[in-house]
Structure 1
Amino acid sequence: MSKAKLLQPDLILGDTILGLSQEILDHYHIKGLVLDVDETLVPLKKTHVSEELKQSIQHIRQKTPIWLVSNNLSESRIGRIANSLELPYLLGAVKPSRRKLRKAIRAMELPIPQVAMVGDRLFTDVLAGNRMGMFTILVEPMVDPAIAARSYPIHNFEVWLSQKLGVSLMSSQNRFIKRHKKRKK
């Protein structure tokens, strides 16, 4: 598999994880989710989850099993986030390593292609999911508004390097929305 293919998400949401719906998961035949935590669910260093995220996860969880898999080593922080969402979690994943992803998928008892890896980073979340053979979803990072004004050099470098390797980072969410609206008419 080429470097560009390893970094190419199957779906670029063009929104934060709050834009991910059961309708989208059904469209892509996704039966399980592995979610990154830092900047995918909450801004870096935050330990509280928004009510909007709780409701969104609760709605999706009714039909779709969800695991949190984080590179973060902080048991207290990730545990608090996972407990507030009532989700199982794994720490210290060292993504793009696949070891902890395998463990979460085995616990869900689903075929790998039916499980989506959802995250905000190309070189950890998307790369790990693609190496595993999962469906990969790139979301916009959840950032603290107080920090949002500053740039994110690692994220910017990942985007620049990915584009140099031929990865397309145009949002695929708009195509899904347009197709879905046509069907409803």
Structure 2
Amino acid sequence: MFNIKLLQPDLILGDTVLGLTQEVLDQYKIKGLILDVDETLVPLKKSSVSEELIYWINHIKIRTPIWLVSNNLSKNRISYIADTLDLPYLLGAVKPSRRKLRKAISAMNLPVTQVAMVGDRLFTDVLAGNRLGMFTILVNPIITSKSHPIQDLEVWISQKLGVSFTSSEYKFVKKTRKTNH
């Protein structure tokens, strides 16, 4: 029988990854991050990285090691993004498989409970992180449209299965970020 709690994120950010602050990481005692790439950092059809993302990564990685772990198989695209951000990466992760997450955690030399899996998808990112015992953070996709059909479908299915996304049960963090650097 499937454990429905595996689809429940520990933190629902209520913003894109750019709203995740060092203060939030400190609050939850997070010492390392594994970031999904597609729709979490960069829109699926693009390889260019925004200046805002570069600034955010550079600020966070001062104190927190970061690995990119993507299901994407395009070595050219993922390596370009990782090189631009000056981050190590693993591709073809087949999340919710835990194998490549374990590899990234091992490289960080941190306990699994001090590493957060950050992504925009419940059935891949959150499920993989929860299966491994990581702290999981669900973020809004970084896509430019207001509609998030895949994430919306996953939330709808999860709710039908009994997952609750009410603020009384889960921690939501919504901060307005400054765009001036």
Give CA-to-partner distance per residue, 1:54-113, whole Å, 9 cap, x none.
Answer: 111101100000000000000011111101100000000000000000000000000000
Which residue pairs with 2:179 in the alignment?
A: none
Provide the TM-score with structure 2 as the length reference.
0.90
Output the CA distance in 2 between the equivalents of 1:84 and 1:97. Answer: 26
Question: Which one of 154, 161, 164 corresponds to residue 157 of structure 2?
Answer: 161
Q: Secondary structure at the match of 1:118?
A: strand
Note if 1:173 corresponds to 2:172: yes
Give CA-to-partner distance per residue, 1:3-43, whole Å, 9 cap, x none.
Answer: 32100000000000000011100000000000000000011
Which residue pairs with 1:141 in the alignment?
A: 141
Output the CA distance in 1 between the equivalents of 2:116 and 2:147. Answer: 30
Q: Which has the higher helix share?
A: 1
RMSD of aligned residue pairs (Cα, Å): 1.7
What letter corresponds to residue 161 of structure 1 in structure 2?
I
Identity, % of aligned pairs?
71
**Unaligned ranges ≥5, structure 2:** 176-181
What letter corresponds to residue 57 of structure 2 in structure 1?
I
What letter corresponds to residue 162 of structure 2 in structure 1?
G
**Is the 8 Å Cα contact of residues 39 and 142 (structure 1) preserved in structure 2?**
yes
Output the CA distance in 2 between the equivalents of 1:170 and 1:39. Answer: 24
What letter corresponds to residue 136 of structure 1 in structure 2?
T
Aligned-pair CA distance for 1:50: 0.7
Give CA-to-partner distance per residue, 1:106-127, whole Å, 9 cap, x none.
Answer: 0000000000000000000000
Name the count of aligned residue pairs. 172
Note if 1:68 corresponds to 2:68: yes
Provide the TM-score with structure 1 as the length reference.
0.88
